[in-house]
Amino acid sequence: MKLRKSGVAAASAVVLALTATACGGGSDSGKNDDKITIGIKFDQPGLGLKTPDGDYTGFDVDVATYVAKELGHDAKDIEWKEAPSAERENLISRGDVDFIVASYSITDERKQKVSFAGPYFLAHQDLLVRADEKGITKAEDLNSRKLCSVTGSTSAQNIKNELAPKAQLQQVGGYSQCLTGLENKAVDALTTDDTILAGYAAQPQHEGKFKLAGLSLSDENYGIGLKKGDTELQGKINKALEKMVEDGAWDKAVKDNFGPANYKNESAPKITETS
């Protein structure tokens, strides 16, 4: 009788072992390691835009896709997640995204909460004016002129407080309202990062209507945001960014996304975020 019990126990053990093997080994079963979640802007033409047909386009999207591929993920494996400016640090700290590529300027304040790879682009605050505008060639020319930006914009306050205190500042809910006002001559200029301005100017419906003033009112080093202290991922992303520049993909992405606006970009910046 004892022998029979031993035989049953042994057979049961074999069945359990085979079952575990067939299921793929316990708690990891069903997990897709190919997937990666990346935060981008959904509303910035030229940088990160979700199109009506559900596609994603822009320079940040191209950079993120290239980096993901270098990390071993095909484009089809990317889950895009909207990353509004005010939510970027929260998305990273909660682990909702693997990293963020969303016109994310590297600042000392932000580095208290997250780490960055890069930078991968050097942008500047600039002005967008009508294509036939000849009277605005420097920030001071905005005194007594109408300047538009979005509510809470640090770019607009920079001009109002430091460069053109007599500018008539109008703050609205979105850049598209500024563009309409600019086209209709209700305002004289729109201000924010030159990449964002170039992206709007390059849209088919705006092509030829606007131009960038070509001012460099601030330096904005765009970095890829990731979990604070993740030096391993930081190093891998930095290598991917360096390769993107070396093989010409970076230049192509700039031309594809900003070219129609005749945007004069800076050369790819040197990687500085290494710890």
Q: Do 36-123+220-261 and 124-212 fold alike per CATH? A: yes
pLDDT of the residue at 10: 45
Give the whole-angstrom CA distance, residue 173 versus residue 108. 28
Give the whole-angstrom CA distance, residue 107 versus residue 85. 13
Q: Measured in whole angstroms, how far is the alpha carbon of residue 26 from the centre of its chain?
A: 37
CATH topology of domain 124-212: D-Maltodextrin-Binding Protein; domain 2 (3.40.190)
pLDDT < 50: residue spans in the chain: 1-31
Please tell me whether residue 121 adopts helix, strand or coil conformation.
Answer: strand
For the chain, what are the domain ranges?
A: 36-123+220-261, 124-212
pLDDT of the residue at 32: 54
pTM: 0.78
Task: Show the tokens assigned to 26.
Answer: 């316990």
CATH class of the structural domain 36-123+220-261? alpha beta
